[in-house]
Structure 1
Amino acid sequence: MRPDDWHLTEDVDDFLARAGEFLRSRPALHNTPLTTVEKLRTRQADAHGPAATVFGRLEPGGEVGAVFYRLPSRGLSVTPLTPGQADTLAAHLAGLGHSLPYVSAAHDTATAFAEAWQRRTGATPTLSKRIRLYRLGTLIPPEPLPEGRGRVVSEQDHEQLVRFCGEFCAAVGELPAVDADSWAGSRFADRHFTFWETPDGTPASMAAVTSMVAGMVRVDPVYTPARLRGRGYAGAVTVEVSRAALAAGATDVVLYADPANPTSNALYQRLGYVPITEWAVYDFSDATPEAG
């Protein structure tokens, strides 16, 4: 395995032509690159320009074995690698003079890359986040469901939706926060939202899904205001969007959960979601990549 087995491009169409089949081969595991790259493909202006997204594929012997992407001013997101593959990627990017604020990947891959990046650049990695990836097995609706109903969010709900998403960001510490002015450029703008309403029509919880790619849909986010928690609303709205995804033909329905939150993890498992891997993010201190 050599560093030059990694091939980089800023052309999203070229990247998909060469690596799309690999991404689609494991839609649950590759859910984040699938949705991110599809968004860039449909919004070409976001993928090109002075600060273009960089895509990479590992292709020794003509067969793609891994990919990565890096959005402008963001860190590295990469599919699972062996320690040797992680080292060749670190060597290649450091040799090209890349500077990375973080790496996000399956836990073992993120750890291997962080260690390799430290060796190559002197940057100190700090584990900043762990996330658990779930895939839906057999959907198990809770019994009884809370009173109320699920309802697809409409344009008339926009103000309430923005408020809920802003509260969600504040609750989980997600940055940048979202409000009415930043909505159009946020990660929430292209999601498909559903409310769970109480019998009097008050929105009590929300869940969203991504557009389907390669038969995969990701549930994200799920949010219930603190004053309304513990009443079954999050489970009800998660079942609502999960059932709708299956009815639309999804073969993989996935979601992420914070492993430090026992309540949400227990809920998703009761609903039929099965953990498939742990994800990790390592932040890097400033360092100077080695010359290529």
Structure 2
Amino acid sequence: MTTIPTWHITADLDQFLRLAGDFLRSRPAPHTLQLTVTDTLRSRGRHIYGDGDPEFGVLERDGTVTATFFRTPPGRLMPTRLTPDEAEALAAQLADPETELPGIMAEQDTASTFAEAWRRRTGAELEINARQRLYRLAELTIPTPAPPGRPRVAVAKDREQLMRWHGEFVAAIGEHGATMGSADWADARISYGGVTLWETPDGTPVSMAGVTAKVAGQIRVAPVYTPADLRGRGYAGAVTAEVSRAARTAGAAEVLLFTDLANPTSNALYQRIGYRPVADFTTYDFGPGTGQR
């Protein structure tokens, strides 16, 4: 007889990390979202991503953790890689009238398997919101020639600039997961030097690249943003290379970033700098369902 996997679901972040911490740290690249979001929740507060209470899940088989998920309402479900039976079991456990699930972001096969299971159980409509690729830095190649100007780590005086650009970035790409407000984001990043600006020789900021705090030896570059009227001048490549170099200098064993596969320009740029593919991720939005079936 096949045993149906049972997920342990909790709102207790500390309990989740006690159960799942070693598992998440065992694969820091594909688990980068779980590592960085839970670290932010612990350091900045449970509601940094929204008013809803975060929810966490752990799946154990024979005493060994094999999968996890987190959700920061109103954000999407974000699980680690799931086998088909693990995805089916999670959909079955979450599919009740009290659960409002707007979508999922996960590695491609996991996302599609769970989305189909959710559709069968709830009648929800499925729509692909984005396809993304996770890259890791191999050998860093600094773009040459560099554009005029220099990099500078953002400080408190740059707060308004960072808030404005973060808002523009979120509006431009849409929300692909856990997203905090622009003021909270700026404050959090300034607190640990997590944004670098590229400035022209006269000191005018023209581009920015952010990085997550180092967790389990990994740092993720996010976001990279240049206003539309300043693109095509090499600023994004220069500032991304600078934060990538700084992350390596800070001791990161893994330097990571996500790109939108619909944007061939950014994918080509990051590969020229030295980033190599790790895995593809898909984001689904779930429409209204007809109830559990």
Fold shared, TM-score > 0.5 on shorter chain? yes
**Given that residues 70 and 76 in structure 1 are in contact (C-alpha distance below 8 angstroms), is that contact kept between their aligned partners in structure 2?**
yes
Q: Percent identity of the aligned residues?
A: 54
Residue 93 (1) aligns with residue 90 (2): no
> Aligned in 2, Cα 1:205/1:184: closer, same or farther, shift over 3 Å?
closer
Partner of 2:242: 240
Q: Distance in 2 between matches of 1:68 and 1:173?
A: 22
Residue 226 of structure 1: how far off its partner (Å): 1.8
Normalising by structure 2, what TM-score? 0.90
Tell me the secondary structure at the aligned position of residue 70 of structure 2. Answer: strand
Q: Which deviations, in whole Å up to 9, do the C-alpha atoms of 1:142-173 show, x marking residues without a partner?
A: 12211211101111122222222233233324
Residue 3 of structure 1: how far off its partner (Å): 4.5
Q: Distance in 1 between matches of 2:7 and 2:76?
A: 17
Q: Distance in 2 between matches of 1:202 and 1:86?
A: 49
Q: Which runs of 5+ in 1 are unaligned?
A: none
Residue 190 (1) aligns with residue 188 (2): yes
Q: Which deviations, in whole Å up to 9, do the C-alpha atoms of 1:188-242 show, x marking residues without a partner?
A: 5423111111111111211010111101111111111222211111111001111
**Given that residues 206 and 230 in structure 2 are in contact (C-alpha distance below 8 angstroms), is that contact kept between their aligned partners in structure 1?**
yes
CA RMSD of aligned residues (A): 2.4
Partner of 2:274: 272
Partner of 1:151: 152
**Given that residues 46 and 54 in structure 2 are in contact (C-alpha distance below 8 angstroms), is that contact kept between their aligned partners in structure 1?**
no
> Aligned in 2, Cα 1:188/1:288: closer, same or farther, shift over 3 Å?
farther
- Structure 1 outlier segments of 4+, above 4 Å: 1-4
Residue 285 (1) aligns with residue 287 (2): yes
Partner of 2:169: 168
Partner of 1:136: 137
Residue 288 of structure 1: how far off its partner (Å): 4.9
Q: Distance in 2 between matches of 1:82 and 1:276?
A: 18
Tell me the secondary structure at the aligned position of residue 92 of structure 1. Answer: helix
Residue 277 of structure 1: how far off its partner (Å): 1.1
Q: Distance in 1 between matches of 2:285 and 2:175?
A: 15
Q: Distance in 2 between matches of 1:11 and 1:99?
A: 20
Partner of 1:26: 27
**Given that residues 5 and 60 in structure 1 are in contact (C-alpha distance below 8 angstroms), is that contact kept between their aligned partners in structure 2?**
no
Q: What is the count of residue pairs matched by the alignment?
A: 286
Q: Which deviations, in whole Å up to 9, do the C-alpha atoms of 1:235-260 show, x marking residues without a partner?
A: 11001111111111101111111111
Residue 71 of structure 1: how far off its partner (Å): 1.2
**Given that residues 97 and 289 in structure 1 are in contact (C-alpha distance below 8 angstroms), is that contact kept between their aligned partners in structure 2?**
no
Amino acid at match of 2:31: H
Tell me the secondary structure at the aligned position of residue 33 of structure 1. Answer: helix
**Given that residues 166 and 182 in structure 2 are in contact (C-alpha distance below 8 angstroms), is that contact kept between their aligned partners in structure 1?**
no
> Aligned in 2, Cα 1:168/1:74: closer, same or farther, shift over 3 Å?
closer
**Given that residues 134 and 255 in structure 1 are in contact (C-alpha distance below 8 angstroms), is that contact kept between their aligned partners in structure 2?**
yes
Q: Which deviations, in whole Å up to 9, do the C-alpha atoms of 1:19-59 show, x marking residues without a partner?
A: 00011111111111111111112244439xx9421100110
Partner of 1:110: 111
Partner of 2:70: 69
> Aligned in 2, Cα 1:162/1:73: closer, same or farther, shift over 3 Å?
closer
Partner of 2:55: 54
Partner of 2:252: 250
Q: Distance in 1 between matches of 2:24 and 2:176?
A: 27
> Aligned in 2, Cα 1:160/1:42: closer, same or farther, shift over 3 Å?
closer
Q: Which runs of 5+ in 2 are unaligned?
A: none
Partner of 2:263: 261
